[in-house]
Amino acid sequence: MATKHILIVPGDGIGQEVTAVGKKVLDKIAARFGHTFTYDEALVGHAAIEATGNPLPDESLAKMRASDAVLFGAVGHPKYDNDPSAKVRPEQGLLRMRKELGLYANLRPIKLFDELLDASSIKPEILKGADILFFRELTGDIYFGEKGRKNDGDTAFDIAEYSRFEVERIARKAFEAARTRRKKLCSVDKANVIETSRLWREVIQKIAPEYPDVEVEHQFVDATAMLLIKDPRRFDVVVTANLFGDILTDEASQIAGSMGMLASASIGDGTGVYEPIHGSAHDITGKGVANPLASILSAALLLDISFGMKAESNAVIHAVDQVLKAGFRTRDIANPQTPAHMIKGTDAIGEEVLKQL
């Protein structure tokens, strides 16, 4: 039995709705396994800008550092998307959080529940058995490099930068993970064109002999994008840079049927942050139809990685699997054959998971 303090950071849009369901699942796990989970909340993103003018207030950051783990929602708002001149943006809070907490490794498991084979636009015979673990480097690349305008604003630039140390630390985490799985590691870069990718490949090649039991391959990012759709089962652990990982994992959401099914863990040397990979989805905010399963599965990752509660984590994953086996769906993973009464909203499908627990 354990006592842990969890910070809930709903953020914007549907983040508010899905984290509420994730918290209920954590409460159920605490009751079932005899743990004590205490909670606090913090503002980030558009909600924080509206309240304080700052996308990540110092108070929120302090709460994150003082917590054992963070269950995160999403950030973003349409008002900023078409306003390139906005100086303060919700995503700045997300990037600062990653930098300040040292969250350099983003783990995104792409695992297909068999019951959702028909939810993807990819043929079931290509998908069945796909199980990929992405390691996306999270605190480097053009997201954090120098950026600006010149020539009276007519020319824009973003500098991509990586150090050998940054590549090595994410690579080692990926190699270690590969050892616990199918012992295959694919490193994704664009070394035929980009200098940071040439450093990336150089570091991977230097480290690889330390892990002789892991089979290593190198793929260019464009080839990887094609192969993820053509033959996703060929991949086991994939490690890549920040920008490439952002794009490839969104593409890989089609393997799982929907972004609403994909959890992620952002970890480093301190407090871990667990969040769905989907965005704030303001087009469905407040309608009660958002898929909370990614938030629930993020809670499972939190239990496993930050708290070392493997049995509790597996119980959550099993509960989600049982709900899907029973035929319940949210609208994003339903198909034309799904009976209308089996298509559930955010809270209702969360209740089905709680019943299984």
Residues belonging to the active site: 143, 190, 222, 246, 250
Q: Residue 157: which residues within 8 A CB-CB, separation 6 or more?
A: 146, 147, 148, 149, 150
Q: What span, in angstroms and rounded, lies between the C-alpha atoms of 174 and 48?
A: 34
State how far Cα 41 lies from the chain centre: 20
**Distance (Å) of CA 103 to CA 177, 200, 245, 270, 354:** 17, 19, 15, 8, 30
φ, ψ dihedrals at 156, nearest 5°: -115, 150
φ, ψ dihedrals at 237, nearest 5°: -105, 130
φ, ψ dihedrals at 35, nearest 5°: -95, 165
φ, ψ dihedrals at 201, nearest 5°: -65, -40
- DSSP letter for 329, please: B
